[in-house]
Amino acid sequence: MALDQRKTDFTQVGTRPNRPDGLDKVTGKARFGADITAPGMLFGAILRSPHAHARIKHIDTSKAEALSDVKAIVTRADFSDAIKPAPGLEGEQWNVLENVMAGDTALYDGHAIAAVAATSALAARDALKLIEVEYEVLPHVTDVDKAMAKDAPVIREGAADYSVPEGMHPNVVRYHESGHGDVEAGFAKADLVVEEHFVTEATHQGYIEPHACLAQLGQDGKGELWCCTQGHWYVQKNCAALLGIETSQLRVTASEIGGGFGGKTTVFIEPVALALSRKSNRPVKLVMSRPEVFRATGPTASTSMDIKIGMTADGIITAAQGTFRLQGGAFPGAPADMTAMCAFAPYDLKNVQQIGYDVMSNRPKQAAYRAPGSPMAAYAVESVIDELCRKLDLDPIEVRLKNAAREGTKASYGPKFERIGLVETLEAAKAHPHYSAPLKPGQGRGISCGFWFNHGGETSVSLSLSEDGTCQISVGTPDIGGSRASMALMAAEVLGIPYESIRVTIADTATLGYNDVSHGSRVTYASGLATIKAAEDAVAKLSKRAAVKWGIPEDAVKWEDGHAVPSGPNAGNFDPMPLAEITRDMGKTGGPISGHFEATPEGAGVSFATHIVDAEVDPETGKTAVTRYTVIQDAGKAIHPTYVEGQFQGGAAQGIGWALNEEYIYGEDGRLQNAVFLDYRIPVASDLPMIDTVIVEVPNPGHPFGVRGVGETSICPPLAAIANAVSAAAGVRLHALPMSPPRILAALEQQRAKTG
Amino acid sequence: MSTKIHVSATVNGDAVDYLCDPRETLLDVLRDRLNLTGAKEGCGTGDCGACSITLNGRLVCSCLVLGVEAAGQEIATVEGIAAGETLHPLQQKFIDHAALQCGICTPGILVAAKALLEKNPDPSETEVRYWLAGNLCRCTGYDKIIRAVMDAAAEMREAS
């Protein structure tokens, strides 16, 4: 796409105004997923499998149906592959349906089996207890290495695609290999080669708002759905397919969303609520409980990884090789390719090879979680680089600078980088007072780099002007962390009107063209680009109207600071005309003035971050305290710097939880052991220090204002940075996350036994 | 099914009456019977603090209180924090400091922070962090929240 030359002299972009939805959110008025009701509404509840793997032999709903409070019960028979026998659903949509409601087999603890709609939430839960399910329990596997072993139970025959080499276990369903050069020759040139094995556990996105929706679907195939989601067009498309109705007949409105981080990019309960509504002919509200969120929505993949890196004595990486096994749960789709491609992306490598395996097991289907795959890969790779630096007695930032990818570098995953900002983040890290601050005894310092691709995606934005010169913008990407503010700032910049004169609305699926999900750090980039272009479209029309009023040619008007200004030899002599004067008379000069833009922008621009962290390990208990944390990341251009900082800080905090505490714990029976926040403990305020941030701005050539995505890159470095800090503090390296107190204590005791 | 019980209580200064199932939580009563959806259910087990309210001035998770237990009590929720059109200093500082991203934890944190400042108008950063340790936020990393609470406390001390 041809873009304008980049703008750098901003008047509004880069300022920090209050967010437009702030008041609603501090007064409790904002309407989230579970906050809406409809007349005659029923409450839904879902029966879930208590087994990790079991054949469903028979479901008897008669006792539940006999209750007067119960208005509908649905099972798999109420979805489209059953009600529309041929051709049925294929590919990913079949997987989505199978996950939403089990077919012949329950594939994980928590897999949905049946659902009830009743007159109250308590009545619905009571009714679930009366549904009788006869299971034949099957052997299960919940560990990625075991799931690849020869004798592992097969989750689903025939799920693997063409990419998988012959001879692999049927649970290996996707295979990725990329790289360039000759790694063996590279290792031969190294003065030191380090090869290590790492594992990470699955972690949950941990948004505080459980999934919730309110569905209404009639026998005529027309419906409405209100839900908390990162992408309501995706919800519309998939629900329509699963229910066997026409997409356009289902109008989906996104509520305010209480966090997502990738976990609200797919559907879980929405098709179930629609099926219950169709059957009962009443609106149905369905809200997940927290244990349901943990058991049946997307955690990340767990991993098993082997990393081998060779380095010369002066710190040049001669070769790098990685093998990444990702456990994606009971369906294909673990980000094995992303993990492999991100692993070595920060470095300019002559010889590099990465291999990824997507492996199925009896766990919930993994979902995207902030830069899917990249944090785990960075943990393994950056730990090995840290180990090389220690053994060769080299400064970790200097080594990374020596090997850093720059503009023109051939990326480990293939293409050449355009303008990127990794070196700038490393230089800023080196210069930051944190990096040279003295450490107390028992403390260690770690650093790590991280990389994420960022994303464009289908985007449509409409903007309309009012007679009083104010503006309203309809965007299709749910505001998950302040994007209304960014959109308003970008439009204000182009139109030259105050930020406060702009209202940003998250449009529903009936009022705007298709919009891709709020994921891939795409919103400020793609919706922002579309907002700028829509505003420019409006500016062109405004200029034309001014020309009409002045009676001069269209091309004799330019737009400056919110005013039409005559320009050029044939323009004549007129005072600048403010936007509000043009809109006041727009009915007389040609009618309403609006701007529109739709495209699939492809210049997202990759981004990099460098994190510095200090950690203190208690040798008696193995407990780690993070004592200082600094995030340095390239934002391209920070539209609203405060919210950029917030993304940086939030990513770091989630990374701290992942590194130190959070994990899915499975019992021998294949059931999740810690499906509540008390046992799956995300960081609380007293676990964390203030998190310092440095915003680096190396403009993205693919965006009119230079924006790169910021939401995901911030979680790429923390796992490794903390692992490196813990390793420095404890004097022992851990090869498994989370580095919980028992794991650290065991490593310390092993070390003590070794050294006597 | 079960017989419902008649309860009278006060919410944000207003007298209310409701019928509820003896198993129903106060959170469900507030949200589903009184249409006060400011308090959020994040966990249902008292671990996340999103449903924080005060009951006779004491900070509680409303998901751990039964609706029937509120009989005769004074309930305060996020909807009652602002005085008419004037925001409480905490609310204003949360907006000014961008101390919210998705905003789902915000009502609970505001109620909890208000309870802290009523008890201790001059808390240290550590005291704020420990007091709010029962309120989970997954977006912000807490930095801006802690700053907003400290700033509101300072402003309220000056004003008093």
Q: What residue in B sits closest to A653 (Cα-Cα)?
A: B141
How far apart, in whole angstroms, are the C-alpha atoms of residue A684 and residue A660? Answer: 13
What are the tokens at B67? 């609706």
Q: What is the mean pLDDT of chain B?
A: 97
From chain A residues 567-596, the ones with a CB under 8 A of any chain B CB are: none
Q: Region A445-466: what's the mean pLDDT?
A: 98
**Between the CA atoms of A98, A100, A105 and A111, what dihedral angle is there, to the nearest 10 degrees?**
140
Smallest CA-to-CA distance from A704 within A499, A516, A472, A539 is with A539
Is the CB of residue A456 less than 8 Å away from at least one CB of chain B?
A: no
Per residue in A472-495, pLDDT (tens digit) is 999 999 999 899 999 999 999 999
Q: What residue in B sits closest to A210 (Cα-Cα)?
A: B42
**If you count them, how many residues does chain A have?**
756
Number of CB atoms found within 10 A of residue B105's CB: 30
Helix axes A374-392, A336-343, angle to 10 degrees: 30
How far apart, in whole angstroms, are the C-alpha atoms of residue A375 and residue A540? Answer: 44
- What is the DSSP code (8-state) at residue A53? S
Residue with the two structure tokens 């043009």 = A582
Is the CB of residue A16 less than 8 Å away from at least one CB of chain B?
A: yes
- What is the DSSP code (8-state) at residue A77? G
Per residue in A213-266, pLDDT (tens digit) is 999 999 999 999 999 999 999 999 999 999 999 999 999 999 999 999 999 999
Tell me, rounded to whole angstroms, the distance of Cα A28 from its chain centroid. Answer: 26
How far apart, in whole angstroms, are the C-alpha atoms of residue A418 and residue A411? Answer: 10
Tell me, rounded to whole angstroms, the distance of Cα B80 from its chain centroid. Answer: 9
Over 80: is that where the pLDDT of A524 sits?
A: yes
Per residue in B83-136, pLDDT (tens digit) is 999 999 999 999 999 999 999 999 999 999 999 999 999 999 999 999 999 999
Cβ–Cβ below 8 Å for A688 and B142: yes
**If you count them, how many residues does chain B have?**
160
Q: Note whether A417 and A409 are within 8 A (CB).
A: yes
A16, A25, A486, A661, best to mutate vs chain B, most B CBs in 10 Å: A25
Tell me whether residue A549 is exposed, middle or buried, using C-beta atoms within 10 angstroms of its C-beta: 0 to 12, 13 to 18, 19 or more: middle
Name the pLDDT band for A563 (thresholds 50, 70, 90): very high
Cβ–Cβ below 8 Å for B129 and A686: yes
How far apart, in whole angstroms, are the C-alpha atoms of residue A245 and residue A251? Answer: 12
Over 60: is that where the pLDDT of A571 sits?
A: yes
Is the CB of residue B133 less than 8 Å away from at least one CB of chain A?
A: yes
Q: How many CA atoms, within 13 angstroms, populate the side-chain half-sphere of residue B70? A: 39
Smallest CA-to-CA distance from B12 within B32, B39, B50 is with B39
pTM of the shown model: 0.97
Facing residue for B47 by CB, picked from A256, A257, A678: A678
Q: What residue in B sits closest to A481 (Cα-Cα)?
A: B101
Q: Region A363-380: what's the mean pLDDT?
A: 98
- What is the DSSP code (8-state) at residue A654? H
Q: Note whether A124 and A71 are within 8 A (CB).
A: no
CB–CB contacts below 8 A, A to B: 191
Cβ–Cβ below 8 Å for B37 and A31: yes
Residue A465: which H helix or E strand, with range? strand A459-465
Over 50: is that where the pLDDT of A713 sits?
A: yes
- Give the gap in angstroms from C-alpha B38 to the nearest C-alpha of chain A: 4
Q: Dihedral sign, CA of A609, A614, A619, A620? A: negative
Residue with the two structure tokens 């200029």 = A543
Is the CB of residue A654 less than 8 Å away from at least one CB of chain B?
A: yes
How far apart, in whole angstroms, are the C-alpha atoms of residue A753 and residue B8? Answer: 65
Question: In Å, what is the CA distance from A68 to each residue of A65, A71, A119, A198, A283?
Answer: 8, 8, 9, 55, 17
Per residue in A597-646, pLDDT (tens digit) is 999 999 999 999 999 999 999 999 999 999 999 999 999 999 999 999 99
Q: Where are the alpha helices (DSSP H) in chain B?
A: 26-28, 89-96, 106-119, 125-131, 143-159
Per residue in A287-299, pLDDT (tens digit) is 999 999 999 999 9
Smallest CA-to-CA distance from A115 within A306, A339, A254, A272 is with A272
Strands (DSSP E) found in A247-397: 250-254, 284-287, 302-311, 317-327, 352-359
How far apart, in whole angstroms, are the C-alpha atoms of residue A575 and residue A306? Answer: 69
Is the CB of residue A287 less than 8 Å away from at least one CB of chain B?
A: yes
How far apart, in whole angstroms, are the C-alpha atoms of residue A392 and residue A586? Answer: 71
From chain B residues 111-130, the ones with a CB under 8 A of any chain A CB are: 125-126, 128-130
Name the pLDDT band for A84 (thresholds 50, 70, 90): low
Confidence at residue A568, expressed as pLDDT on a 0 to 100 scale: 86
Per residue in A136-168, pLDDT (tens digit) is 999 999 999 999 999 999 999 999 999 999 999
Question: In Å, what is the CA distance from A256 to each residue of A238, A411, A610?
Answer: 20, 38, 32
How far apart, in whole angstroms, are the C-alpha atoms of residue A362 and residue A669? Answer: 11
ipTM of this predicted structure: 0.98
Amino acid type, A78: D
Q: Dihedral sign, CA of A98, A100, A106, A110? A: positive
> Which residues have a Cβ under 8 Å from the Cβ of A129 and sit 6 or more positions away?
none
Facing residue for A123 by CB, picked from B1, B43, B78: B1
Confidence at residue B8, expressed as pLDDT on a 0 to 100 scale: 98
From chain B residues 55-84, the ones with a CB under 8 A of any chain A CB are: 77-79, 81-82
Over 60: is that where the pLDDT of A1 sits?
A: no
Amino acid type, B120: N
